[in-house]
Amino acid sequence: MTTACTAEVEILSEDTDATSGTSIETSARGLSGCHGQASSSIPANGRYTITTFGGPGDHQQMSCGGYASGTTWYAASRQRYGCGSHIKVEANGKCVVLQTDDYGPDVCVENAAGMPIIDVSPLASKALFGVSGAGWSDHLVVTVTEVDTSVPLGPCTPGGGGGGCGGGSTGMACSSATLDRDVPSGTFVQASNDATWYQCTNGTWTAKSSSSGCPTAYGFCASATLGENVPPRTCVQAASDSKWYQCNGQGWVTPVSTSTKEGPIGTCSSWNPL
């Protein structure tokens, strides 16, 4: 019998440290005409300029969950491809597979670059161009294709992968009822039905005592309004400011649509108005 774990990130109220995403909040620095909105249009030729976000000085939570630590294979553009999708990014005869975990960049950045932008982990720019950081003015062009979530994250080489834990991300994906989407092998999820941690291992869920040491984990959030820990995808109207927030597995994120009852990581699993 395993012991269920509580949320790993404790917050005082839903609005404390809530975010709409790291990419949308950091990519537009120094530009004008920015309003916190990202384009959902996918270019027909799949061509983007890449920019990078995250790293030791920019370690913030992303809107779909996870952190922009600069040490895993992530990207923004969840507004284009959906949370947790895998995209193949190609340039210079090389390619990497990334997971879309954040919202952004701001359309003002794309306007400055004169073409669509895919904001990515510094690991990706290093693998493709040999640089650990890229801005819109560098005009580093890549081709992006969405691939199945069973394709391992990391460099496109036999056995290549990254970003996972407990054996890596290589292997079959698992369907998560808690997140309402497939997740790569290696991912940890705290189940909404019993609060137990489970690890996806090559298509099968295995109960675990905790998610310790795993960078890709989705757990419960502490709700000051409800006075309890709640599972990912829960939507709550906060007592602190009457705004709506959604638990993304690490903390609270915005925006939440009151008409469709959807947030950054998908349809709200429960709806909790004041």
Whole-number pLDDT of residue 60? 82
- Segment 89-131, tens digit of pLDDT: 999 999 999 999 999 999 999 999 999 999 999 999 999 999 9
Whole-number pLDDT of residue 209? 93
Closest-CA residue to 105 (of 74, 136, 83): 136
- Segment 219-266, tens digit of pLDDT: 999 999 999 999 999 999 999 999 999 999 989 999 999 999 999 999
- Segment 197-217, tens digit of pLDDT: 999 999 999 999 998 877 789
Whole-number pLDDT of residue 98? 97
What share of residues in the chain are helix, strand, coil (percent, to 5)?
Answer: 10, 30, 60
Residue ranges of domains in the chain, CATH in brackets: 22-155 (2.40.40.10), 174-217 (no CATH), 218-272 (no CATH)
Backbone phi and psi for residue 181, each to the nearest 5 degrees, phi listed first: -165, 165
Average pLDDT, the chain: 89
Q: Where are the beta strands (DSSP E) in 154-196?
A: 154-155, 174-176, 181-183, 188-190
Give the global pTM: 0.83
Q: Provide the token pair at 226.
A: 């409800």
Closest-CA residue to 242 (of 227, 217, 225): 225
